[in-house]
């Protein structure tokens, strides 16, 4: 199964409370995805010369302070590290390539979840309510977000297998469904020099789009190629620095519902997750059509 949620807040005043608005949306999808949950939040951008790195380490005793010192010494950087339980957001003006290479060499047990100027990612195992409280989702502020609740059907239940997945800076994707040709897509992409972190089918879709965009496709063209290549069921919700985008497979096997309001655009697998939103009675509620691309800009 799995549940997806997305929220783009148009009303500037409401952006400070985006986490609070979103929380019932994510928890509303618990029956669809009780084993893991994740969230990508697009907040205030860091300085133009800097990047944010969302990191995760499975060990609860992990010494983030030591990583911070080692990183600054090793790369002669002045990175700031903000720790939230077993996640940390590192902000630095050192190039993403050197940070990635340094982490891989010195801290292979640390997973790099995302790189960008606005986006932070949190994902972990547990019910949506547990994950949300562990990382204080209700206190998040920002302009838009993408969330996911997972019911694993094809690969293991681990934080790395949880969604969102990323493909490039400030770009993430969540998926409800299953792909039947994930392994062949993976073999094809590995020949193109694309590397994978998990055996999750969604990661194959994510890397496919990453590859297409690397080859010069814009998102729309990349998704058109996706319709030809991806075999299976999917509703995909994507977040970029200034937009949310949604597609459903040609058979609309997986659900999606949208509420467009003057103050916000909210997307979820089911209306259950939208029912609590302010003034929802006056929102335009509709089901996105299959095989069509929907984009909502900030």
Q: Which is nearer to other proteins, 76 or 281 (CB)?
A: 281
At residue 123, the 3 state secondary structure works out as strand
| Smallest distance from other proteins to CB 15, Å | 25
Comparison of 25 and 265: residue with beta carbon closer to other proteins: 25
Q: Compute the least distance from the CB of residue 291 to other proteins, in Å.
A: 10
Q: Is 287 in the site for other proteins (CB under 8 A)?
A: yes
Letters for 96-135 (x = contact with other proteins by CB under 8 A, - = none) are ----------------------------------------
28 versus 239: smaller Cβ distance to other proteins = 28
| Strands 87-92 vs 119-125: parallel, antiparallel or unpaired | unpaired
Q: Considering beta carbons, is residue 25 or 71 the nearer one to other proteins?
A: 25
- Between 166 and 273, CB nearer to other proteins: 273
* Helices 64-75 and 96-106, axial angle in degrees (round to 10): 120
Q: How far is the CB of 16 from other proteins (least distance, A)?
A: 26
Q: What torsion, rounded to 10 degrees, do the Cα atoms 73, 77, 80, 85 define?
A: -50
Q: What is the CB neighbour count within 10 angstroms for residue 64?
A: 18
Strands 80-84 and 165-166: unpaired
> Least distance to other proteins from the beta carbon of 37, Å?
19
Phi, psi values for residue 217, rounded to 5°:
-70, 145
User: For residues 194-253, which are near other proteins according to CB under 8 A?
Assistant: 251-252
2 classed as catalytic: yes
Residues of this chain, 242-261, that bind other proteins according to CB under 8 A = 251-252, 255
Backbone angles phi, psi at 251, to 5 degrees: -100, 0
* Residue recorded with tokens 């002045």: 78
Q: How far is the CB of 271 from other proteins (least distance, A)?
A: 3
User: Pick from 285, 293, 294, 298: which binds other proteins (CB under 8 A)?
Assistant: 285
Residues 264-283 that bind other proteins (CB under 8 A): 270-276
* Residue of the chain from 221, 289, 292, 295 that contacts other proteins (CB under 8 A): 289
With a CB cutoff of 8 Å and minimum separation 6, the contacts of 162 are: 36, 37, 38, 123, 124, 125, 148, 150
Ramachandran quadrant class, 233 (left: phi over 0; alpha: psi -120 to 50; beta: rest)? beta
Look at strands 36-42 and 51-57 and give their pairing.
Answer: unpaired
β-bridge pairing 243-248 and 294-297: antiparallel
Active-site residues, by number, are 2
Residues forming contacts to other proteins in the complex (CB under 8 A) are: 251-252, 255, 270-276, 285-287, 289-290
């Amino acid at each position: 199964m799995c549940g997806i949620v997305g929220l783009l807040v148009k009303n500037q005043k409401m952006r400070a409370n985006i986490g609070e608005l979103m929380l019932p949306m994510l928890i509303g999808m618990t029956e669809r995805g009780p084993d893991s949950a994740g969230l990508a939040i697009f907040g205030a951008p860091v300085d133009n010369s800097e990047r944010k790195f969302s990191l995760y380490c499975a060990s609860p005793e992990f010494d983030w302070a030591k990583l911070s010192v080692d990183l600054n010494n090793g790369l002669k950087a002045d990175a700031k590290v903000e720790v939230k339980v077993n996640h940390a957001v590192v902000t630095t003006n050192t190039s993403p390539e050197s940070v990635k290479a340094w982490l891989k060499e010195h801290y292979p047990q640390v997973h790099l979840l995302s790189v960008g100027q606005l986006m932070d990612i949190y994902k972990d195992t547990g019910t949506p309510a547990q994950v949300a409280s562990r990382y204080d989702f209700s206190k998040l502020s920002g302009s838009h977000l993408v969330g996911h609740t997972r019911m694993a059907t094809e690969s293991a239940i681990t934080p790395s297998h949880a969604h969102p997945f990323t493909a490039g800076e400030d770009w993430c994707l969540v998926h409800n469904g299953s792909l039947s040709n994930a392994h062949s897509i993976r073999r094809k992409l590995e020949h193109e020099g694309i590397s994978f972190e998990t055996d999750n089918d969604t990661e194959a879709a994510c890397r496919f789009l990453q590859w297409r965009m690397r080859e010069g496709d814009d998102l729309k063209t990349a998704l058109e190629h996706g319709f030809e290549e991806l075999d299976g069921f999917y509703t995909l919700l994507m977040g970029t620095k200034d937009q949310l985008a949604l597609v459903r497979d040609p058979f609309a096997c997986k659900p999606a519902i949208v509420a467009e309001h003057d103050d916000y655009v909210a997307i979820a697998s089911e209306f259950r997750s939208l029912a609590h939103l302010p003034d929802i009675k006056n929102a335009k509620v509709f089901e996105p059509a299959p095989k069509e691309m929907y984009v909502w800009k900030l």
